[in-house]
């Protein structure tokens, strides 16, 4: 997490009920929040960066399930009950995608409106692409099956010109904002951090972009072709609210390629990963130019009329 998160956000987080552990991983030099709640563990990381801070949090997590959120994202107070009910019904699932709703920065009144009732996952019907009825997901009373990513897709030469289509569909690539089984997360995180060793004391630690790297790494490590690994919750009742970044933390495009090349190092046999990495590589020059423009030509402040 970054410096300067609001105490209001932390207070809202602590409204979550049930058996839960919160792990806050601060960048170097930040004093932990003086909050008195036994469910909170605060760690000041030795290095700054999304990958190193989140990996530190993962390796200190003791729960059965793991969910990562940012310090501008809010959780439904009853989310623990929802997660428990889901995995009681689907004990072989790996992951549950929470329903989410976005809010512009500063719209506090809407952000703090009463939460909707959580869906009864014990009774929701299921739809899937496999059964050719995934269109029922739009009716908001169905769970949508999430198949494992089709990692064994063949390499597609069109990736060399930045065109990629095999990411489309109900499978999941990203890790964040989903509830995962910790027994799958722990070995994957340990392998990812070990893969950052170059030689001797030299390590290659990308600053950010753990999200898709970890989501696909778990699926590659435990790959079973055609396996259903989880579900999408219907969007009608959100369990996660996301406030847009404040102006000083404007979202920018990132160099995912720098981190995700670790996937190819460990799983070179999967054509899907070659399609992903090579398509990303074609974007590096353009994004590098955009990054230089932002540094050399800062945006002029807007003037209201």
- DSSP conformation letters of 152-197: TPPP-GGGGGT---TT-SS-----TTEEEEHHHHHHHHHHHHHTTE
Q: Are 42 and 33 in contact (CB under 8 A)?
A: yes
- Reported as a single tens digit per residue, the pLDDT across 195-233 is 998 888 888 888 878 999 999 999 999 999 999 999 999
Q: Are 40 and 22 in contact (CB under 8 A)?
A: yes
Taking the C-alpha atoms of residue 234 and residue 116, their distance in angstroms, rounded to an integer, is: 12
Residues 6+ apart with CB under 8 A from 118: 76, 78, 79, 81, 82, 237, 239
pTM above 0.85, yes or no: yes
Taking the C-alpha atoms of residue 260 and residue 276, their distance in angstroms, rounded to an integer, is: 9
Taking the C-alpha atoms of residue 171 and residue 225, their distance in angstroms, rounded to an integer, is: 12
Q: Is 292 exposed, middle or buried (0-12, 13-18, 19+ CB in 10 A)?
A: exposed
- Reported as a single tens digit per residue, the pLDDT across 3-59 is 667 888 999 999 999 999 999 999 999 999 999 899 999 999 999 999 999 999 999
- CA 3 to chain centroid, in Å, comes to 20
């Amino acid at each position: 997490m970054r410096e300067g998160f609001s105490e209001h956000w932390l207070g809202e987080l602590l409204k979550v009920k049930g058996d839960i552990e919160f792990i806050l991983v601060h960048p170097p030099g930040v004093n932990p929040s003086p909050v008195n709640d036994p469910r909170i563990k605060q760690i000041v990381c030795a290095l700054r960066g999304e990958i190193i801070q989140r990996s530190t949090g993962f390796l200190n997590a003791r729960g059965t399930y793991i969910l990562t959120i940012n310090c501008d994202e809010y959780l439904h107070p009853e989310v623990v009950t929802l997660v428990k009910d889901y995995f009681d019904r689907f004990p072989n699932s790996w992951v549950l995608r929470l329903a989410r709703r976005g809010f512009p920065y500063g719209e506090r009144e809407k952000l703090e409106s009463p939460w909707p009732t959580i869906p009864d996952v014990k009774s929701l019907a299921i739809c899937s692409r496999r059964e050719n009825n995934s269109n029922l997901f739009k009716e908001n009373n169905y769970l949508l099956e999430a198949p494992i990513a089709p990692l064994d897709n063949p390499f597609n030469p069109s990736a060399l010109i930045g065109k990629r289509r095999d990411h489309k569909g109900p499978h999941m690539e990203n890790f964040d904002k989903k509830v995962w089984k910790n027994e799958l997360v722990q070995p994957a995180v340990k392998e990812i951090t070990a893969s950052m060793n170059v030689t001797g004391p030299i390590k290659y630690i990308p600053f950010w972009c753990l999200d898709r790297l970890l989501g696909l790494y778990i699926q590659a490590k435990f790959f079973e072709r055609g396996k259903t690994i989880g579900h999408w919750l219907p969007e009608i009742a959100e369990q996660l609210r996301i406030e847009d970044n404040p102006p000083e933390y404007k979202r920018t495009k990132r160099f995912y390629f720098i981190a995700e090349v670790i996937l190819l190092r460990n799983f070179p046999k999967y054509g899907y990963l070659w399609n992903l990495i090579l398509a990303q590589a074609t974007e590096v020059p353009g994004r590098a130019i955009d990054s230089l423009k932002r540094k050399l030509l800062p945006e002029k402040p807007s003037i209201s009329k």
